[in-house]
């Protein structure tokens, strides 16, 4: 996020003018950061700065924004393709066998023909960085993926000050603009998401084909997380390794879809833990209070994995002023924050990996963060 993008709720005329300007600027170098920033600015929330490491709102937010921008402007958002190239095996750092990782279990929900995987995301982020106190705005997103992931995915997202299971710290006093994205896309390729006729997906735009072809190979995945030169919102310079924060974003955007197989999820967490600059913390609470294993980049955000299923259940991004120091070497592990196990429940006979959460969680918001997000997973009979 930047200090010079503080905006109030836009009028219809201002929004029309911005969208007209957006249409004029769309070109071959349009990326997820540009599209996402346009919608967040129009919504009155402060957009995030180009990530260093990548600090994006995630694949869902980008898909929602890209679809909305493409629909309103008639433009195309170009996603840079990153195919799963063969990578030379690399040594795994000691962090890959730290306590807690050995207990990760890649349990998948049973799903039958005609059913849908439903991933629900609740989040909040800074809206007006210059305000005193800092104010925040929330997002609620649902993504349905059919049992055959090559079929039509359904995405529904809206801005809200009451995301399910989260308490927004210091919500905006102004009414949150009603912006709803509702779109479908075969195999996860939504309107406005275009990388050419041979696009397979990428780490920042994971599709059904991309995710289902990821190997359950820790060394190969670690090599990709370190060396992927294209497909990120802000690619590193050629010849340099990706930062730990960039690796965190790559894992986040892939796992937040809820599509990756259990063995791939376990391998991906182990691969992330094996990267220098990643700190693992057993017993870390997610934004909605569930307990998991934290994976923190010394220069960026934290992912929380559910130990019983290896699903991504939480993400936090610290405020810029709280990021500093050299971090803890990846060979170290922090003591557990809590020993309370996270036991998956299945209320009302519905298969679900994480418990249903109350509309407003009593878990106190962490205002030292600029963003927090939680994820739950279930199987449904319809995509509505």
What is the pLDDT at residue 77? Answer: 31
Task: Output 177 or 319, whichever has higher pLDDT.
Answer: 319
Sequence ranges of the domains in the chain: 94-380
Average pLDDT over residues 62-69: 36
What is the pLDDT at residue 194? Answer: 64
Model confidence at 97, pLDDT cuts 50, 70, 90, reads low
Average pLDDT of the chain, as a whole number: 69
Model confidence at 7, pLDDT cuts 50, 70, 90, reads very low
Which DSSP letter does residue 122 get? E
What is the pLDDT at residue 238? Answer: 55
CB–CB of 188/207 below 8 Å?
yes
| Whether the predicted pLDDT of 203 surpasses 50 | yes
- Pairing state between β 77-78 and 193-194: parallel
Average pLDDT over residues 76-101: 45
If 0-12 CB within 10 Å is exposed, 13-18 middle and 19+ buried, where does residue 49 land?
A: middle
| Whether the predicted pLDDT of 18 surpasses 80 | no
Average pLDDT over residues 203-219: 94
Task: Output 322 or 187, whichever has higher pLDDT.
Answer: 187
Lowest mean pLDDT among 85-89, 129-133, 247-251, 308-312: 85-89
CA distances to 132, 214, 237 from 86, rounded to whole Å, are 50, 11, 20
Average pLDDT over residues 44-72: 39
| Whether the predicted pLDDT of 262 surpasses 90 | yes
Q: How many Å apart are CA 63 and CA 191, to the nearest integer?
A: 8
What is the pLDDT at residue 319? Answer: 82
Q: Which of 7-11, 149-153, 366-370 has the highest mean pLDDT?
A: 149-153
The pTM assigned to this predicted structure is 0.68
Nearest to 205 by CA among 54, 92, 93: 54
Please provide the DSSP assignment of 158-226 as one string. Answer: EEESS-TT-PPSSB-SSPPP--EEEEEEETT--TTEE--TT----SSS--HHHHHT--S-HHHHHHHHH
Please provide the DSSP assignment of 338-363 as one string. Answer: ---------GGG--BSS----SS--S
3-state per-residue secondary structure call for 27-41:
CCCCCHHHHHHHHHH
């Amino acid at each position: 996020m930047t200090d010079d993008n503080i905006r109030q709720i836009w009028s219809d005329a201002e929004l029309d003018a911005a969208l007209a300007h957006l249409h004029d600027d769309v070109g071959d170098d349009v990326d997820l950061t540009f599209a996402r920033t346009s919608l967040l600015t129009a919504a009155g929330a402060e957009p995030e700065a180009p990530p260093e490491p990548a600090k994006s709102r995630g694949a869902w937010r980008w898909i929602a924004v890209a679809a909305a921008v493409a629909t309103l402007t008639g433009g195309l958002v170009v996603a840079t393709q990153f195919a799963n190239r063969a990578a030379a095996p690399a040594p795994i750092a000691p962090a890959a066998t730290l306590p807690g990782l050995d207990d990760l279990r890649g349990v998948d929900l049973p799903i039958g023909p005609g059913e849908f995987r439903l991933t629900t995301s609740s989040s909040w982020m800074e809206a007006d960085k210059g305000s005193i106190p800092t104010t925040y705005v929330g997002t609620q997103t649902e993504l349905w993926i059919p049992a055959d992931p090559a079929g039509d995915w359904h995405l529904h997202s809206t801005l809200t000050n009451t995301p399910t299971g989260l308490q927004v710290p210091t919500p905006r006093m102004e009414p949150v603009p009603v912006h709803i994205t509702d779109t479908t896309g075969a195999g996860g390729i939504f309107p406005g998401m275009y990388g050419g006729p041979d696009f397979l997906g990428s780490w920042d735009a994971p599709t059904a084909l991309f995710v289902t072809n990821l190997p359950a190979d820790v060394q190969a995945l670690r090599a990709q997380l370190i060396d992927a030169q294209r497909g990120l919102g802000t690619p590193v310079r050629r010849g340099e390794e990706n930062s730990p924060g960039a690796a965190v974003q790559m894992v986040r955007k892939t796992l937040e879809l809820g599509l990756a197989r259990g063995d791939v999820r376990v391998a991906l967490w182990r691969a992330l833990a094996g990267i220098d600059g990643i700190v693992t913390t057993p017993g870390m609470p997610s934004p909605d209070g569930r307990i998991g294993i934290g994976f923190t980049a010394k220069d960026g955000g934290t992912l929380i994995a559910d130990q019983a299923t290896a699903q991504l259940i939480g993400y936090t991004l610290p405020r810029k002023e709280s990021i500093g120091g050299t971090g803890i070497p990846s060979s170290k592990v922090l003591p557990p924050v809590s020993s309370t196990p996270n036991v998956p429940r299945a209320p009302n006979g519905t298969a679900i990996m994480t418990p249903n959460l109350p509309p407003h969680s009593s878990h106190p918001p962490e205002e030292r963060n600029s963003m927090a997000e939680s994820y739950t997973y279930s199987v449904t009979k319809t995509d509505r």
